[in-house]
Amino acid sequence: MGVLTLGIPTHVAVLTSVFGRLTPYGESLELNRLVLLDEVPANADTGQ
């Protein structure tokens, strides 16, 4: 179906500015890449 990769944010405020209770670089990751096969229906990556 697909692959995603997560990584450490490049800046301390990437996620902690939105989710202030997270410990920077310890409790937050960002989505680096998301690849879906062409056979996956439209909007499948939205979670709806």
Write down the pLDDT at residue 39.
84
**Shortest CA distance to 18 belongs to which of 7, 28, 6?**
28
- Domain boundaries, given as residue ranges, for the chain: 2-46
In the chain, what are the helix, strand and coil shares in percent, each to the nearest 5?
15, 25, 60
- Tens of pLDDT, residue by residue over 1-48, are 789 999 888 887 777 777 778 787 888 788 899 888 888 777 777 765
Identity of the residue numbered 44: A
CA dihedral 35, 40, 42, 44 (to 10 degrees): -70
